[in-house]
Structure 1
Amino acid sequence: MSENHESSYSELHRPSSSFSSRDEYLNHELQIMQPKRWRVNLPFRDYRFEWEDMIPAFAGTIGKVVMVGAVAAAFAGPLGLSSDFILENVRYELLIAAVFILLLSGFFLPSANLPGTHGPLIPLIPLVVAAGGHPLAFGLLIGIFGFLLGITKGGSLMAKLTSNGVCGGLLLYLGFIGTTGQVAKLFQWAEGFGKAHIAFIVIIGTILLYALLEHWKKRWLAVPLGCVLAGVTAYALGAPFSFNTEPGLPPMSPTYWWGENTGWMLGLPDFNSFLVVFPFAVLAVAMWSPDFLGHQVFQKISYPERTEKVQMNIDDTMVSCSARQIAGSVLGGANFTSSWGTYIVPASIAKRPIPAGAVLTALFCIIAGVWGYPMDLAIWQPVLSVALVVGVYVPLLEAGMEMTRKGKTTQSAAIVVFSSALVNPVFGWSLTMLLDNLGLIGCKERSSELGVAGRVVVPVIGFVILCTVMGAVGMFPGIPAFLEQFRNLG
């Protein structure tokens, strides 16, 4: 049967035994899928489950437990909330996330990456609390701004205006910073109980394993095998570990979480609460574009040709993240949403589409949240660090280097890294995109083809708005926050 647009996925599907290699079968699956936006996509009719789907589901669940825990802890400290609050809210968020990724990425919006956690936003949370910000107001504004950006296709526009050099440099920066950060955390953890050599041995073992998997073309196994190797090695060498989180369910009522004497112990926000978090919410959504773009590009590099239909749609992902953010905040969750990197990167390496792994991720999140014990294992430092390094950061480095191999891309990539190190990736991305599109660096021919709007208007307006917001909340090194200076003058 010819593979034409009228044939369905189930008609075009062929068993893996009919292919000469597993890789050919996975490529064929990606090429014949026909996901339907805002219509029901069913397992076995529109997609199938494969063993490779376990990899992103496993990595994504580990990342979710860790990142939501980091967000909850960032709030709990300044607000004086106990560790019990962190544990219960993480469990609550795992259940909320499971429902949304199952309904959206699993069934109704298979072109949207899973709504994960906004990692780069975590350092800003103490500033939000210190300014008197309310987490419900913060979450609602992020969801509203993200929804507006998604329905106006602003995310796609930013992706089109970002060259390979800019995107490649961004991936290199994020990959390098992430890798070195996890190595440092692993040594800090091992030094905490006087056995720093454990961190060294775990890292060496991970490097050798990753190299062998690359040689055998089995790199998609890096997360599970790396986590097993790291955990077994660390425990065998005397690293302390114990299961402490017992099975159970968190409080399920939003009135509990937004009570004045329960949950967050803050009650509901007032109008001033929304004014305080406004600039932070704008910045949070502005951070989405480079994050989403990096994930989409990595998927494009890893997938074969003729797979545009199953690649992550930036605007759909923004709508999905926004819906999940609004609902999660109203329900009382601590999570702030972005594209789920610890899911999409391993899924891209394993050459698997979004929906099947999304269903498994939802199942794993429910198991982890209710059972409790997997949460202890997921946040154990050697397992956590190795999962993030081999599942996200090293692949980002590889993708960044791949994008800067051809054309006039190295100048733009270098400027992104330089300016990101000065402030943050949002500043680096917006500044370099402006310089690149103006034709001051990078490919001059590309700049001349963008038109006035793409070359000047959009990049300039975007850069000015982002700098104003970042300056307002004090993100420029050595420069006091504009908002604080304004309050002092008043």
Structure 2
Amino acid sequence: MSSTDTYKKQHKPRSAFNTRTEYLEHELQVMAPRRWRPNLPFRDYRFEFEDWVPAMAATIGKIVMVAAVVGAFAAPLGLSPEFVVENSRFELLIAALLFVVLVSGFLNPTANLAGTHGPLIPLIPLIVASGGHPMALGVLIGVFGFILGITKGGSLLAKLTSNGVCGGLLLYLGFIGITSQISKLFAWAESFDMAYIAFVIIISTILMYAWLEHMKLRWLAIPLGSVLAGVIAYALGAPFEFSTEPGIPNMNPAYWWGEDTGWQLGLPSFEHFVAVAPFAVLAVAMWSPDFLGHRVFQELSYPPKTERVLMNIDDTMVSTAARQTVGSLLGGGNLSSSWGTYIVPAAIARRPIAAGAVLTGLLCVIAAIWGYPMDLAIWQPVLSVALVVGVFLPLLEAGMQMTREGKTTQSAAIVIFSSALVNPVFGWSLTVLLDNLGLIGCKERGKTLGHTGRWIIPGLTFGILCAVMTGIGMFPGIPPLLSAFQH
């Protein structure tokens, strides 16, 4: 295909194909996104009704995850639930207007949307207890992420990760995610003594997902599952009410970083940056396996000859780092990463990044200003089912698909085992080192990587991450090294 051929010339109407799947696959094959240049609707891509699926899933996931991050900061700082809602609405507008639409929708459609860093949420209380400041943490994550992106460190680490390691990582994340959401759903139902509602919702979701798989309509799982869960819960008597009223959050950064307003912390000092540095290193280290998993899921879901529309790991790191820095400076509390609740449903629906990104931005703006959709998105049955069928079940399926051949199961088993011991970052970095050395997995693969790819880069990565995790106390049974120095 000539480089002078454009998407507009090669596009064919739906009527030219026997099935809609063939049409969507042809769209992916003829697109040629322009990197860091304007990409325009109808010239470079089109909108299809399938784009609403990742947009809806991403909006639901975004509301929930941002609220979780801000809430994790707010609790130890003694800030009110009203602050959490207000800052979450502010973050939705920042993400939608400045980055989702502008970057992924128009300037670089191979950069995935910048979402929320979920695995870092459990560490936030420790960050605050260590004297951390949300702005200091966000800015350092942005700086470190930008360095990794422009040096192409993210794509290099992705190349050094075998199918077995990546498949095991997807299996672990998928299984942990599903069991977590089931536990949360039962805890929610038990809180008002109607645990059977959770059971009915889960059974109904399983049957719905199986039927969608049979009908090859799996891309409908998120909207259909969310509606099904909400209707069943409400019909069986689960309590629900709208409480977030329409309005625009405070858009003044001086308000958010005031001494007596917003976060009530003022601007960070040098000591705040020192306190959060280890956590910022760990946060950016978590990006590589996260971003890799998202790109691999695209590769498994897309047809052949679609390399040009696949997510670019390094560009995604650069845009995520920029979004993190700007959001933190303006007053937001979100911690950014690749947007999983967007890219996974988009890949299932066989849609590229750009069109759904524009719709995601639109829905985020509507949710932030209208207010009421935020209540619905964070209602436990809607939230849990959307995450299970839209993210975690597909991750499980992709992981199984990647570990079916050769000796990939050895690497997959080790990464699951070591992730369960500490966390996925430890599991990924350790297994990449063992796998590339040829101790597990395919022995021949390591011989093709050279000394740099075989042990120098994996060894340095593993050593640095272990030092950081030891310092902040992430190894079970080992006290934080930093606290020993502080005392």
Range of TM-score over shorter length:
over 0.9
1:200 aligned onto 2:195 = no
Q: For residue 481 of structure 2, what is the aligned residue in structure 1?
A: 482
Q: For residue 216 of structure 1, what is the aligned residue in structure 2?
A: 215
Q: How does 1:75-154 map to 2 (within 5 A)?
A: 75-99=73-97, 100-154=99-153
Q: For residue 258 of structure 1, what is the aligned residue in structure 2?
A: 257
Q: For residue 235 of structure 1, what is the aligned residue in structure 2?
A: 234
Q: For residue 53 of structure 1, what is the aligned residue in structure 2?
A: 51
Cα separation, 1, equivalents of 2:428 and 2:40? 38
Query: Could you list the runs of 4 or more consecutive aligned residues of structure 1 that deviate by over 6 angstroms after TM superposition?
Result: none
Matched AA of 2:71 = A
Matched AA of 1:75 = F
Q: For residue 178 of structure 2, what is the aligned residue in structure 1?
A: 179
Cα separation, 1, equivalents of 2:332 and 2:400? 37
Q: CA deviation at 1:6?
A: 1.8
Question: Which digits, 9 at most, give the CA deviation of each residue in 1:344-400, with x for residues without a partner?
Answer: 000000000000000000000000000000000000000000000000000000000
Relative to the length of structure 2, the TM-score reads 0.99
Cα separation, 2, equivalents of 1:58 and 1:347? 11
Cα separation, 1, equivalents of 2:351 and 2:72? 34
Q: For residue 187 of structure 2, what is the aligned residue in structure 1?
A: 188
Q: For residue 350 of structure 1, what is the aligned residue in structure 2?
A: 349
Matched AA of 2:419 = S
Q: CA deviation at 1:298?
A: 0.4
CA-based RMSD of the aligned residues comes to 0.5
Cα separation, 2, equivalents of 1:268 and 1:7? 51
Matched AA of 1:113 = N
Matched AA of 1:139 = G
Matched AA of 2:311 = M
Q: CA deviation at 1:453?
A: 0.3
Q: For residue 73 of structure 1, what is the aligned residue in structure 2?
A: 71
Cα separation, 2, equivalents of 1:113 and 1:307? 16
Which of 33, 36, 43 in structure 1 is aligned with 2:34?
36
Cα separation, 1, equivalents of 2:485 and 2:102? 45
Q: CA deviation at 1:225?
A: 0.2
Q: For residue 308 of structure 2, what is the aligned residue in structure 1?
A: 309
Q: For residue 225 of structure 2, what is the aligned residue in structure 1?
A: 226
Q: CA deviation at 1:4?
A: 3.3
Q: For residue 6 of structure 2, what is the aligned residue in structure 1?
A: 8
Q: How does 1:363-378 map to 2 (within 5 A)?
A: 363-378=362-377
Cα separation, 2, equivalents of 1:187 and 1:55? 26
Q: CA deviation at 1:17?
A: 1.2
Cα separation, 2, equivalents of 1:473 and 1:287? 15
Q: CA deviation at 1:270?
A: 0.5
Cα separation, 2, equivalents of 1:224 and 1:421? 32
Q: For residue 298 of structure 2, what is the aligned residue in structure 1?
A: 299
Cα separation, 2, equivalents of 1:160 and 1:44? 34
Cα separation, 2, equivalents of 1:103 and 1:4? 28
Q: For residue 155 of structure 1, what is the aligned residue in structure 2?
A: 154
1:268 aligned onto 2:261 = no
Q: CA deviation at 1:442?
A: 0.2
Q: How does 1:452-467 map to 2 (within 5 A)?
A: 452-467=451-466
Q: CA deviation at 1:174?
A: 0.1
Q: CA deviation at 1:407?
A: 1.7
Q: CA deviation at 1:170?
A: 0.1
Question: Which digits, 9 at most, give the CA deviation of each residue in 1:5-30, with x for residues without a partner?
Answer: 32100110011111000000000000
Q: For residue 288 of structure 1, what is the aligned residue in structure 2?
A: 287
Cα separation, 2, equivalents of 1:487 and 1:183? 40
Cα separation, 2, equivalents of 1:152 and 1:5? 27
SS at match of 1:227: helix
Q: CA deviation at 1:408?
A: 1.1
Cα separation, 1, equivalents of 2:37 and 2:455? 39
Question: Which digits, 9 at most, give the CA deviation of each residue in 1:238-297, with x for residues without a partner?
Answer: 001111110001000000000000000000001111000000000000000000000000
Cα separation, 1, equivalents of 2:49 and 2:407? 40
Question: Which digits, 9 at most, give the CA deviation of each residue in 1:109-157, with x for residues without a partner?
Answer: 1110000000001011101100111110000000000000000000000
Q: For residue 417 of structure 2, what is the aligned residue in structure 1?
A: 418
Relative to the length of structure 1, the TM-score reads 0.99
SS at match of 2:368: helix
Cα separation, 1, equivalents of 2:447 and 2:343? 33
Q: How does 1:318-397 map to 2 (within 5 A)?
A: 318-397=317-396
1:18 aligned onto 2:10 = no
Matched AA of 2:5 = S
Cα separation, 2, equivalents of 1:79 and 1:374? 27
Cα separation, 2, equivalents of 1:458 and 1:301? 27
Cα separation, 1, equivalents of 2:312 and 2:406? 26
Matched AA of 1:4 = S
